[in-house]
Structure 1
Amino acid sequence: MPGKFRFKQFEIDQEGAAQKVGTDSVLLGAWVNHSLCKTILDIGCGTGVLALMMAQRFPHAMIDAVEIDDAACRCAVKNVENSMFKYRITVWHQKIQTFSTPVQYDLIISNPPFFSSGLQSPAHQRSAARHTDHLTHDELLHSAERLLKDSGSFALILPEQEANGIGLKAIRFGLFRTRTCHVHPLPGKEPNRVMITFQKDAADKLSVEHIVVRNADRTYSEAYKILTKDFYLSL
């Protein structure tokens, strides 16, 4: 059916959503990790794909998913309700800046707005989903620091050019890089995305990884297939 994206254990109905299911969310959801994960927060959950991926990967975790956009929030609620994970995921229609909960999270995950400058798209909804006007990097980092357990991890994906800036800002909020993965679209190409994990304690050594998404002939690389094998029906 048009507008639907099927994974192995759940389905995403994208009808009316500004941002469709893409490589960024799937990469981050498959890559992120945290041991003994019982509480998870998805900031800017969109259609709910990351929240559902977390429910599949961490079967004992309770997940909160926060989304400000009306249409995206409706999509997320519908996708969660139609999944086997509906009793472990709660979708909240509100700003993360004012989101209040007694819960402190083991893992916070986000595929956030990423253009901090430049022209915005004509479609307001898509523009809001892609630009930082409604959620600046400072607000994102402050929210993550406020809601993260001392032993927790905060993971996100950004364009490569945004990564250094947010890494330096994070230190001001008491968040330190512990793991980084540079995402290359093709062999020999410079990375265009980077996935970063932050924690509240500085790591003795930063783990740095690289992954190539597609081969030269545009088929998916073996590394990408292995990383995402639990989710895609086929590649």
Structure 2
Amino acid sequence: MSVFHFQRFSVRQARAAMKVCTDATLFGAMAPVSGGEQVLDIGTGTGLLALMAAQLGAASVTAVELDRDAFEEARTNFRASPWADRLHAVHGDIRDHAPEEGRRFDLVISNPSFFQAHSPSPDVRRHLARHTDQLSWSELLHCADRLAAKNGSLYLLLPVMAVRQVRKEAEALGWFLSRRVNLKGYERNTAKVAALWFSRTVTEYQEETLIIYRTGRVYSKESERYLSPFLLRFAIE
């Protein structure tokens, strides 16, 4: 069985098309959760981001997943975690999701499918998980806009090449990019993905670059600061 163990929870991922990766883990560790938020995770996959949000202190996390196998795996991971009472897996299409009457989310997070107009993968489920066939970025933004609270925020992990397009479409809906962190594997690399913070109010824009590794597989001090509460390698015995 394929299982990725963290300090306080484990992620079973034998059936999920997309596995735990460094970019997604760092993205989850950087999530703007200070405690008490109602969080919506769109396209939860194995449930990684939802589990990390719960560890960071979210009061409740609703995790929506279209793929049946991934949903069942996420639900299993939630039930085995210390926050089973705060994590709610939902199988279905986010475009059809209707929360309880009057309920809106303080924070919407998503690590969506990255690729548009790329050659399809021979693995159909992996293709759907990696490509925007099922949910375009525009549809994702509209869903977030419909489900987020009036003073809510939106947190996305996107390929760098998509940021300009998504930012423009987000602004048309009244979402403004307040912070962007470009993720680079090493100093010599070009950033391929970026973590993006959106809010409904215009604030001073900040952009920075985070280098994940110093050398080999040794994390930089900055990435270690985010990951130390989660990864086993940083556990204090």
Q: TM-score range by the shorter chain?
A: over 0.9
1:36 positional shift = 5.2
Q: CA deviation at 1:148?
A: 0.8
1:51 aligns with 2:50: yes
Distance in 1 between the 2:34 and 2:151 partners? 10
Please name the residue that 1:95 is paired with.
Answer: 93
Contact 2:33 2:56 in 1 (8 A): no
Same amino acid, percent of matched pairs: 34
Query: For 2:218, what is the secondary structure of its paired residue?
Result: coil
Alpha-carbon offset, residue 190 of structure 1: 1.7
Q: How does 1:1-235 map to 2 (within 5 A)?
A: 2-35=1-34, 37-58=36-57, 61-101=59-99, 102=101, 103-203=103-203, 205-234=204-233
Q: Deviations over 1:51-94 (max 9, x none)?
A: 010000015x1110000001100100100011111101110000
TM-score, normalization: structure 2?
A: 0.94
Contact 1:159 1:192 in 2 (8 A): yes
The superposition leaves residues 27-57 of structure 1 with CA deviations (integer Å, 9 ceiling, x where unpaired) of: 1111121455420000000000110100000
The C-alpha deviation readout for 1:162-221, integer Å capped at 9, x for no partner, is: 111111111112111011101111113221110001111121x10212100112434222
The code of the aligned residue for 1:97 comes to R
Give 1:107 shift. Answer: 0.7
Asked if the contact 1:42/1:110 (under 8 Å) is kept, the reply is yes
Q: Aligned pair in 2 of structure 1 residues 179, 55: CA closer, same or farther (>3 Å)?
A: same
Secondary structure, aligned partner of 1:201: coil
Q: Does the 8 A contact of 1:70 with 1:93 survive in 2? A: yes
2-structure distance, mates of 1:117, 1:171:
24
Residue 95 of structure 1: how far off its partner (Å): 0.5
Query: Is the 8 Å Cα contact of residues 187 and 216 (structure 1) preserved in structure 2?
Result: no
Q: TM-score, normalised by structure 1?
A: 0.95
The 10-residue stretch of structure 1 (34-43 or 108-117) with the greater mean CA deviation from structure 2: 34-43
Given that residues 64 and 91 in structure 2 are in contact (C-alpha distance below 8 angstroms), is that contact kept between their aligned partners in structure 1? Answer: yes
Structure 2's unaligned 5+ residue stretches are: none
1:23 Cα deviation after fit: 1.4
5+ residue gaps, structure 1, are: none
Q: Would you say the 8 A contact 1:158–1:193 is kept in 2?
A: yes
Partner-residue secondary structure (3-state), 2:71: helix
